[in-house]
Amino acid sequence: MAYLLGKPDVSRNAALKHLTDITPKLGYSYAKERNFDRGPGCHDSVTTLSPWIRHRLLLEEEAVSAALNAHGSQAAEKFVQEVFWRTYWKGWLELRPSVWQDYEVARDHDLNDWNGDAGLARALSGQTGISCFDHWVAELKETHYLHNHARMWFASIWVFTLGLPWTLGADFFLQQLLDGDPASNTLSWRWVSGLQTPGKTYLARAENIQTFTEGRFYPDSQLATEAPTLDGSPAPMPSTLAFPAPLQSGIPSILLLHDDDLCPETAPLPLDDIVGVALLNAADLRSTGQVAHDVSEFVAVGLRDAVQRLSNGPDMLTCDANPKTIAALAGRLGAQRIVYAHAPVGPVRDAIDDITGQLSKIDEARRLIMEVAIRKWDAGSWPYAAKGFFNFKKYIPSMIASLQQ
């Protein structure tokens, strides 16, 4: 994929083409090769679909169906499970939204406490003297991508070798990754640190890094030899999810288009009722620090691509997501409601909640109804995320069967 060495083609057409190109590799070869990190421009052991899937320029079910149709359930099992890991993390956090809020509070506290720390500065600039880690910092800043195995090694070194707060590492990833996802990122860092699965941490080992980078790196005697579980509160009990009813048609509507779902034409939205579009780019809200320009630009281009794919997209009136601007556009076009695809727990959801609150204070906007649509994929899978992934994956075949009905 182009983004590994340069700027990506953000369009849905590019995502679908890339899926077609790599489908022959989604069977046994993916399972055999996926753990190897061969470096920038050489990530042929994995699919590199994640930036498109994260923003739903490519749908999870499209990737899963392509693999199953080409290889069958047995050969495609590992790839299918990897797609469902993302779904599982989203469902797990949806059932426990306070974990995201607690992360934000802890992150802000750690940012204050570690402000000006020399060790943190060396890590963020890639000057720790640990060659593999410093390389991954540079690769992340240049390409805005890291192989998943490298992300695990990176997080382990950050926490256990460098002794830095996991929240600040997670924040750094959200600033830099094109596929930075609040659920997958936050919960993966918690898992490495021993907070997600109590008593279980992940320790990066020099021999493992040497093997799966094919000798590019061997940080012998540079890494921590122990990974003690960090202190932290146990995860809360899962809540009960309540999903909205299908949206009625026949009501002139403004579509609130956002980062978390850039494929409105496949969402259960009343497309014929849409008279205008409000564009919410919440990429810069993923961190209180400086989110990389390429990350924000990825979303901006994706938003424009999504509008163009609507039936009357080229002539569609658009505005930014400022509540006063939305209210003015709705009034101009006679819209009676604002509709949007459900946003999982994270900064987009927070931004939509804020927009909803502000609209309620604007006289001309009080008549507007806010209505949300949820995809069958999410509603059919998130309730199974109440426990661990190994319990969740037992239901993958039945989830797929249900989604195909």
Domain ranges of the chain: 9-94+381-403, 104-212, 253-374
| Residues 243 and 381 sit within 8 Å (Cβ to Cβ) | no
Give the distance, in angstroms, between the CA of residue 321 and the centroid of all CA atoms in the same chain: 21
Helix (H, G, I), strand (E, B) or coil at 291: coil
| Residues 280 and 258 sit within 8 Å (Cβ to Cβ) | yes
Residue 339 in tokens: 């509709």
* Confidence at residue 1, expressed as pLDDT on a 0 to 100 scale: 42
Identify the CATH number of the domain defined by range 9-94+381-403: 1.25.40
Convert the pLDDT of each residue in 245-283 to its tens digit: 999 999 999 999 999 999 999 999 999 999 999 999 999
pTM score, whole prediction: 0.96
pLDDT tops 60 at residue 209? yes
If you average pLDDT over residues 319-333, what whole number do you get?
96
Q: Which has the higher per-residue pLDDT, 363 or 114?
A: 114
| Residues 164 and 214 sit within 8 Å (Cβ to Cβ) | no
Convert the pLDDT of each residue in 12-31 to its tens digit: 999 999 999 999 999 999 99
pLDDT tops 90 at residue 339? yes
pLDDT tops 80 at residue 405? no
* Confidence at residue 7, expressed as pLDDT on a 0 to 100 scale: 62
* Confidence at residue 198, expressed as pLDDT on a 0 to 100 scale: 85
pLDDT tops 70 at residue 48? yes
CA distances (Å), 206 to each of 32, 33, 128, in order?
A: 21, 19, 16
Superfamily of domain 104-212: DNA Cyclobutane Dipyrimidine Photolyase, subunit A, domain 3 (1.10.579.10)
pLDDT tops 80 at residue 3? no
* Confidence at residue 2, expressed as pLDDT on a 0 to 100 scale: 39
* Confidence at residue 121, expressed as pLDDT on a 0 to 100 scale: 98
User: CATH class for domain 253-374?
Assistant: alpha beta
Q: Which residues contact 29 (CB under 8 A, 6 or more apart)?
A: none
Q: Distance between CA 282 and CA 302 in Å, rounded?
A: 12
If you average pLDDT over residues 30-37, what whole number do you get?
97
- Residue 311 banded pLDDT, cuts 50, 70, 90: confident
* Confidence at residue 314, expressed as pLDDT on a 0 to 100 scale: 75
Convert the pLDDT of each residue in 368-402 to its tens digit: 999 999 999 999 999 999 999 999 999 999 999 98
pLDDT averaged over every residue in the chain: 95
* Confidence at residue 183, expressed as pLDDT on a 0 to 100 scale: 98
